[in-house]
Chain A
Amino acid sequence: MIDYSDMVIVEDNFHDVEMIMDALHDTERKISTLILRDGAEAVKHFFEPPDNVLSGNLPLPKLILLDLKIPKINGLEVLKLLKSNEKTKYIPVVIFTSSNEPRDRLESYQLGANSYLVKPLDADMFYGYIKQIVNYWAMMNINVHQTGII
């Protein structure tokens, strides 16, 4: 198990994960990542003993990149659980999805999403998005629970 991760990525599409990782590599920044392949894995990581974020055994990430259409437990439900827990609700959650449905946008923000991005079809734009997400959320943004300076 990785004992520390800056960024938790909840994404089932293997190709998207590969592109995200490739883009992260491009940024030449040292970002530790944890990839969870479905909603159940995400819930387990954050809430289920023995090893979970909630108990303090695992550190709080700087950012969660969350896809909405994922197997088992869908993204909105995961978001709801994260944002209704006292400990996890301050972790910034960026929704990164292919859906541009107004209903999805509205529900995400209602549940407390910190940002909502639609995966661009164009690969150049896709890479640009990932770079900006990392720059902003993992580098510039300061969280509630943050203790030291990177």
Chain B
Amino acid sequence: MINPLFEKNRKALFIAVIVFIAAAILIIILGHFSYQGQKKYIKNAAKQQLAAIADLKVREIENWRRERIGDANVIRYNAGFTSSVYQYFNDSSAAAAQGRILSLLAATQESYQYKNILLLDKNKKVKLALKKYDSDYGEIHSDVINEAAGRKEIVLSDFYKDKNTGDVHLTMAVPVIISKGNNATILGTVMIIIDPDLRLYPAIKSWPVPSSSGETLLVRREGNEVVYLNELRHEKNMPLMMRRSLNENQLPAVKAVLGERGIVEGLDYGQKKVLAAIGPVPHTTWYLVAKIDEEEIFAPIEERFWVTLFFIAVIILMLGAITAYFLRHQQAKVYRKEFELEEKRASLYARSLIEASIDPLVTVNSEGKITDVNKSTELITGLPREKLIGSDFSSYFTEQEKAEEVYKLVFKNGVVRDYPLALRNISGQVTDVLYNATVYKDDSGAVQGLFAAARDVTELRLMQKELKAAHDELELRVEERTNELKRANESLESEIRERKEMERLIEWRTRLLEVTNKELESFSYSVSHDLRAPLRAIDGYSRMLLRDQADKLDKEAKRKFELIRSNTQIMGKLIDDLLSFSRLGRLDINMSRLDVESLIHDTWKELQIINPDRNLIFSIKNIPESWGDRTLIKQVYSNLLSNAIKYTKSRVDAHIETGGYSENNENIYYVKDNGVGFDMNYYDKLFGVFQRLHSADDYEGTGVGLAIVQQIIHRHGGRVWAESKVEEGAVFYFSLQRKE
């Protein structure tokens, strides 16, 4: 049974744990949302910053471009320069014109530290070069030159790689045009070669705020690839070298060239998660990507995450502590209650034990006064509890001095066992008792008094007397019985002697039987040989005589010779039957489970073959299974059924029925026919060897069949019997023991 107090305690614990878990979950959820809010806020700030930087960069690149065009315009719209070129192209020896051209070009070059400036004629042949004379320059950049000439405008080429140095350059084609009225003729082209390393790349590269991963990329699309145009922050010397497939759509650069705008999230070429601002650079084929690693953006929030986690943990721990304290308090209350209850119960239990005792119990103080009694004491003394308490302990005994001695002895030794005293009832009746007493002590071990129990021994005394008488009588009987046993033992010994004698006799008989069996075997062996030989000779010679002397013998003589011959056959059959009968007694029996019905079917089929001319009506009814030797039981059925066939030969319709049933511990089987039957007066001869109840002339046979049946059934531990009336058929029964 569950203590209700503990049940309450458990319930409190359960509620406390639930409250604690709920509070903890709430705190964790709040913490989570707060963290997510922070994260979102920081991300938004980063996005705004990125957008501003991208915007700035685009504007910077645009400014840079406008400046370069401005530089070129100085040449483009310089009429003096155009005429100098005209002069120089017409006469390459015009030194003054050449000087003027070179001075303007040099001034331009110096203003921005251009890599080189070349002057090409309209056949794109390099005429003059400020720095390096690249004769095939016009051919390489014919696209740009053609475009500039066609549009009559300054054209800024894309980034390209110098075929000799491998450096990345841009070039500006400035058409030199001479105008006459509305007619404008292209004289040639000034090619200004720009090294982006000088100002463009640094401008792109510079990040306006301190950052470890902030980076700006300039990219353009080439077929199915995106090409990185500037030097990368995290992979050096890679301008125009790095290409990525457009399939890598996680790259912000890919997103940019595919037309996306604004802020995107993706993985950069270093496989890091980045936040990027992307967009096209106006008037160019370029796209700008300003990106920063998310890791950097969220670095500050990381710290905040741990702080939040710490606070959550502290709050949960505090909550746990409060819950635990509350629980302890609750438990303490419950245990206190439980303890008080238990104490009360214990004292009640002790009291009821004392009261339940059949023996009178008392406690006595050191002065010999009674301090407490139980109900039994009240009964035996005949005084109420109030009178007993405070009175002298010894005053209730017949021998007062002796009683005083007892309690003194107890105080002295601490214990007294089975001290005989006599209690006196108020009515004067005296009760024999045995006293058992011990001292009892308080916590400190100081003796408080004695605790005494009296056992009423009146009954015991009486029983002891009776027991003594019974014991004496028993001894007498034991002696008588011992004498009887002696006599029985003597007769038993003589019986054992007799039995041993008997066993010896049986053993001797068994040996004798074995010898006899062997002799019998060799006897039947010689019978089969030696009795047949003369018969064979008789038949053989009769046959020879019948054959050789046929003309000398008359009819009667021939008939008698035939009789001799048929009698030798009968004799042979008799020998065979006798042999098989005698062999039966020595055969080993192989017991097995028998399907008797199929066994009967088999036997009947064989018999039908032998008797093809007979009209036989055969029926099998309810044949129980059995236990026996298959060959031998089949022999039984063969003999019984062929008898039935034989003795019904005079009937037109021969009815043969076989069946069986269980009775007690055996199965009983029968074979019934409507044949000639037999006279029950000769029943005792029915199963005898060579015994016949019908003449051999009417019914052939040697009279061994039923003897064999009986022999087989007896060897199976069964019985054989038959019932019949003359001319009213016969029933043959046999029984087999059932085996479970």
Contact = CB atoms under 8 A, between A and B. Distances in A.
B542 interface: yes
A98 B544 contact: no
Given A69-B529, A99-B528, A101-B525, A124 B543 contact: yes
B532 A121 contact: yes
Contact of A98 (B536, B540, B542, B568): B536
A69 B522 CA distance: 13
Interface residues of A, number: 19
Contacts of A83: none
Contacts of B609: none
B478 interface: no
Interface stretch (A11-19, A37-45, A48-56, A58-66): A11-19
Which residue among B534, B536, B544, B568 has the maximum number of chain A CB atoms within 10 Å of its CB?
B536
A101 B533 contact: no
A123 interface: yes
A70 to B, nearest CB: 11
Given A99-B525, A100-B528, A123 B542 contact: yes
A107 to B, nearest CB: 13
B434 interface: no
Contact of B536 (A22, A99, A126): A126
A150 to B, nearest CB: 28
A119 B539 CA distance: 12
A121 B528 contact: no
A14 to B, nearest CB: 9
Interface in B546-581: 565, 568-569, 572
B27 interface: no
A122 interface: yes
Contacts, number: 52
Contacts of B541: 15
Contact of A15 (B529, B533, B569): B533
Contacts of A15: 533-534, 536-537, 540-541
A126 B532 CA distance: 13
Interface in A93-114: 98-101
Interface string B561-603: 0000100110010000000000000000000000000000000
B263 interface: no
Nearest to B525: A101
Given A100-B528, A101-B525, A121 B537 contact: no
Contacts of A13: 533, 537
Interface string A85-99: 000000000000011
B544 A22 contact: yes
Interface string B470-485: 0000000000000000
A19 B534 CA distance: 12
B536 A121 contact: yes
A121 B525 contact: no
Nearest to B536: A121
Nearest to A19: B540
B184 to A, nearest CB: 135
B535 interface: yes
Nearest to B534: A15
Contact of B532 (A18, A98, A127): A98
Given A121-B568, A121-B572, A126 B540 contact: yes
Nearest to B544: A22
Contact of A99 (B529, B534, B540, B572): B529
Nearest to B566: A122
A66 B713 CA distance: 40
A100 B568 CA distance: 18
A101 B526 CA distance: 11
Interface string A1-45: 000000000000101101100100000000000000000000000
Contacts of A121: 532, 535-536, 539, 568-569, 572
Contacts of B532: 98, 119, 121
Contacts of A100: 528
Nearest to B524: A101
A119 B536 contact: yes
A118 to B, nearest CB: 10
Interface string B506-540: 00000000000000000001001100111111011
A123 B546 CA distance: 12
Contacts of B525: 99, 101
B569 A98 contact: no
Nearest to B533: A13
Nearest to A26: B547
B539 A98 contact: no
Nearest to A22: B544
Contacts of B544: 22
A101 B536 CA distance: 18
A122 B569 contact: yes
Contact of A123 (B528, B529, B536): B536
Interface string B82-119: 00000000000000000000000000000000000000
Which residue among A13, A19, A121 has the maximum number of chain B CB atoms within 10 Å of its CB?
A121
B533 to A, nearest CB: 6
Which residue among B525, B539, B569 has the maximum number of chain A CB atoms within 10 Å of its CB?
B539
Contacts of A122: 539, 569
A22 B535 CA distance: 17
A98 B526 CA distance: 10
A99 to B, nearest CB: 6
Contacts of B528: 98-101
B533 A16 contact: yes
A119 B525 CA distance: 15
Contacts of B568: 121
A98 B572 contact: no
B533 A98 contact: yes
Nearest to A121: B572
A24 to B, nearest CB: 14
Contacts of A124: 543
Contacts of B533: 13, 15-16, 98
Contacts of B534: 15
A24 B629 CA distance: 45
A91 B533 CA distance: 27
B529 A98 contact: yes
A79 to B, nearest CB: 17
Nearest to A100: B528
Nearest to A125: B539
A21 to B, nearest CB: 11
A128 B538 CA distance: 17
Contacts of A98: 528-529, 532-533, 536
Interface in B118-133: none
Nearest to A15: B537
A99 B542 CA distance: 23
Interface in B671-700: none
Contact of B543 (A69, A99, A123): A123
Which residue among B525, B533, B534 has the maximum number of chain A CB atoms within 10 Å of its CB?
B533
A127 B547 CA distance: 13
A11 B537 CA distance: 14
Contacts of A101: 525, 528
Given A22-B544, A123-B565, A16 B529 contact: no
B590 to A, nearest CB: 15
Which residue among A15, A19, A101, A122 has the maximum number of chain B CB atoms within 10 Å of its CB?
A122
A117 to B, nearest CB: 13
A69 to B, nearest CB: 5
Given A123-B539, A123-B543, A127-B543, 6 more contacts: A15-B533, A15-B537, A19-B536, A101-B525, A121-B535, A121-B539
24 contacts: A13-B537, A15-B533, A15-B536, A16-B536, A19-B536, A22-B540, A22-B544, A98-B533, A99-B528, A99-B529, A101-B525, A101-B528, A119-B532, A119-B536, A120-B536, A121-B532, A121-B568, A121-B572, A122-B539, A122-B569, A123-B539, A123-B540, A123-B565, A127-B543
- Give the 7 A-B CB pairs with smallest separation, nearest first: A15-B537, A123-B543, A121-B572, A123-B539, A19-B540, A123-B540, A98-B532
